[in-house]
Structure formats: C-alpha cells, structure tokens
Amino acid sequence: MKWEIEEILALISEKKYTEVREKIINLNPVHIGEIIENLDLSEAILIFRMLPKDLAVDVFNYINTEFQEKIIYSITDKEIKHIIDELYFDDMIDLLEEMPAKVVKKILQNSNVEERKLINEFLNYPESSAGSLMTIEYVDLKKDMTIREAIEHIKFTGINKETIYNCYVIDGHRKLEGIVSLRKLILSDYDLRVEEVMNKDVVYVNTHQDQEYVAGIFKKYDIIVVPVVDKEDRLTGIITIDDIIDVIDQENTEDFQKMAAMAPSEEAYLETGVWTLAKNRLTWLIILMLSATFTGGILKKFEDVLQSVVVLTFFIPMLMDTGGNSGSQSATLVIRSLALGEIDEKDTLRVIMKELGVSLIVGVILSFVNFLRIYYLQGTDLMVSLTVCITLLFTVVLAKIVGAILPIVAKKIKVDPAIMASPLITTIVDAGALMVYFSIAKLLLNI
C-alpha cells in the first residue's frame, strides 16, 4: 500500500490528474486522507474535488482537524452543505467541537433550521458527557407494532442510520422500554408484536454521565452500542463503539500526560506550538521545583550528620530514585485498576495489605543485593552499609504504600487519580526517605 501512495504522490507532482483520479478512487478513505494531508493546500483541494461526493465525505472524516478547517475555508457553500448532510450526526458534532467559532458559523449557515436546533442542543451538553458523544441516528420502534410493520419501518428509515442492528422500543412519550435486535426480528413470526420479542432488561446511560463511566459500561457488558436517555428516561440517542474507542484513547493520553506532570492536551504533538507545550509543562514543574525545598530543608536540618559521615551523601540519589520508582509502580497499577473499575474506595485496606506484602518482599531483596554491593564490592563500613540498606527497606515500603493510597484518596475527593502519580509521589517519598535515612544514621552511627 505504501508504494501505491508514493506512486500517486509522484503522479500529482507530475500533474497527471487523470491517472491520479483513476488510482485514488480505489483506495481506502483512510489512505486518501493520508495523501491529502501530505499535499499543498491547492493540490489537496484539487484532489478532494476529484473524488466522488460520497467518497469525499468519507475521506473528510479521516483528515485531521487542521486540514478539515482549511478545506472548509476553500470549498463552496454547496460543497460544505453536502458534507454536512452526509456526515453522521455525532461526527458532525465532533467536527464542530474542534473548529474555531468562525468555521462553526460557516457550517451552521449551511444547515437547515431543524439541524441547527439539534446541533446547538448537543453542543450545550457538558464536555466529555454521554450527551456530547451520542448520535441521534438510531432506529426506534413502537411496542405495539407487528414484526412485519417493524421491518418495513426499518427499511424505510434505516438507510441513513448509523446502525440498524439494535432497535430501541419506546412508548408514546418516547420512554425507553426495551431493545430488540434485527436478527431477532427477522427470525420471529411476522404477526407477533414487538413487545412480545423485545428484551426489557436494557443497559443504558444518562446524557450527563461521564464518558469514562460510559466506556466502563461498554467493557462490563461487552456491547457495541448503548442507548442514552435523559432524566425522564426518554430515549435521546445512542453511543457506538467507534466513539468509545476514541474516548479510551483520549482518556489514556490524558492520564499519561497527568502522570508526567503536564496539563492535558488533545492536540497532536507535531501540531502543538512550542509555547503551548511549554505552558502545559511549566505549572507542574514550578510546583515540583518549589516542593523540593522540603528535601532541601531536611538536608539542612541534618547537616551535622552529613559532615560527620560524608559517605552517607553518596547513597542519597540511589535511595531517592529507588523510592520514586517503587512508588510509581504501585501508583500506575492502582490508577489503572481504578480506571477499569477493578477496585474502588472500599478496597483501600486490601490494596494497602497487598502492597505491604509486595513492598516487604521487594524491599528485603533490594536491600540484600545492595548490602552485597556496597559492603563486599565497594568496601563500605559495615554500620554505614546497614544504615543504607535498612533505609532502603523502609523507603520501598513507604513508597509503595503511598503510591497505592494517593490515587484512591484522589478518587475519593473527586480528583483525577492520575494527578497523584509519579511527580507528587516522588516528592513525598523523597522527604520521607531522607527523614528515615538520617534518623537511622544517628541511631546506628552514634552521631
């Protein structure tokens, strides 16, 4: 496939557009999008206009936001209207959420009154809520329909729906009453009524529930689509698996950024300006830099210990690094388990006991290996070696318990657990490790 794309790019550079069109219309829309993104704007618009209308809409959906914006500015209102008319409703909402206000205004000008009303309603849902993810392109059925009437209804209305494999049964007030699969309808007696074959035990979400919760519902029930209801239990829309995959990708990216002490950003790395990247990183770096004054204060407090036994200084980086790494391991596992719903606040004690057991095993082994290294290989004084290794054991235990507890505390107080990851844990463990180190040194070395 790579050589085909390179061949088409070569033909474009040679301006052999007839051959380009013959080749490009047979490619996957994703690959056509990749080609367009690698062209100058004038050539990209030319190739985009070569595509059959339906294919152009599919390709538009796979182009990055920056290029979508350029295309909207460059094509006619008639072409914009065709794209808007053919895009699935949830994809159109995603597009509008990403675009600047002036582009949104141009798109809305090419929408009819009913569409504009729906768009404005969807754009008012809280960001990252089920309502902001859903689409209105689903098939609904009345429970008193016969199976024959239901199938005719699907044939008539289903052509522009995002999915017809699951149909939702509503009453006269649009309250969700059940769900029935297309397979069930086709295999049932055509004279039966829909309410006789529908499943009344419906898994659904509310418009204002968080997208992470919705993703958890998809995982828990192993489904590919979920209905969305409002506070009166009226069917409002559906969320499909393709949107949830995007959510999972977005949430994972956000967690990684928070765990690395950066403000979350949805923009691609190469498309983000250096000032924006710097701003996203700077706040936490300042906080962590200032928090390091705690460790500096501890070092100053125990200055007499360091002056008496200078060799203790050499082991401080190793203790602090091991503590930070140990805490990060526990925090990563706990944060992931919280995100997957494997643990919650009521499991705090079990998590602590598990990490205590792990930390004792890891701490004893690390301390033993370290003792062999610094006492036998480096010839360090026996009492100094014991001081370092006992401190190492306490540091690992402290780090792993802190790393396990902080994310759960964050969840309890409604803060993203990822914020309590590596940087904050490292700061706490560093201060604790130094306190333990110098206290043990004073005790064992009689300082």
Whether residue 178 contacts residue 202, with contact meaning beta carbons closer than 8 Å, is answered with: yes
415: which 2 tokens? 């803060």
Q: What contacts 24+ positions apart, CB below 8 Å, involve 367-370?
A: 367/392, 367/393, 370/318
pLDDT of residue 442: 86
Task: List Cβ neighbours of 400 (8 Å cut-off, separation of 6 or more).
Answer: 326, 327, 329, 330, 355, 356, 358, 359, 362
Q: Are strands 235-240 and 225-229 parallel, antiparallel or unpaired?
A: antiparallel
End-to-end C-alpha distance for the chain, whole angstroms: 72
At CA 86, angle to CA 114 and CA 79, rounded to 5?
Answer: 95
**Cα 20 from Cα 23, distance rounded (Å):** 5
**Cα 403 from Cα 411, distance rounded (Å):** 13
Q: What are phi and psi of 236, to 5 degrees?
A: -115, -30
Each residue of 111-135: pLDDT tens digit?
A: 666 666 676 677 678 878 888 888 8
How far is CA 103 from each of CA 109, 171, 272, 315, 319, rounded to the nearest angstrom? 10, 39, 20, 59, 54
Closest CA relative to residue 335, chosen from 256, 395, 264: 256
User: For the CA atoms of 45, 51, 52, 58, what is the dihedral angle to 10 degrees?
Assistant: -80
The CATH T-level fold of domain 2-124 is MgtE N-terminal fold (1.25.60)
**Cα 162 from Cα 224, distance rounded (Å):** 12
218: which 2 tokens? 């998809």
210: which 2 tokens? 């968080």
Counting every residue written for the chain, the total comes to: 447
140-240 domain in CATH 3.10.580.10?
A: yes
Residue extents of the structural domains in the chain:
2-124, 140-240, 269-445
**Cα 48 from Cα 378, distance rounded (Å):** 69
Residue stretches of the chain with pLDDT short of 70: 1-5, 90, 97, 100-117, 119-120, 123, 252-272, 277, 280-281, 283-285, 287-294, 296, 299, 306, 308, 418-423, 447
**Cα 11 from Cα 177, distance rounded (Å):** 57
How far is CA 340 from each of CA 147, 213, 214, 253, rounded to the nearest angstrom? 39, 10, 12, 15
Whether residue 349 contacts residue 395, with contact meaning beta carbons closer than 8 Å, is answered with: no
pLDDT of residue 321: 87
pLDDT of residue 8: 74
At CA 13, angle to CA 9 and CA 18, rounded to 5?
Answer: 80
Q: Which CATH superfamily, name and number, covers 269-445?
A: SLC41 divalent cation transporters, integral membrane domain (1.10.357.20)
Whether residue 386 contacts residue 447, with contact meaning beta carbons closer than 8 Å, is answered with: no
Strand-pairing partners, residue 180, are 167
Residue 317 exposed, middle or buried by CB count within 10 Å (0-12, 13-18, 19+): exposed
**Cα 384 from Cα 446, distance rounded (Å):** 11
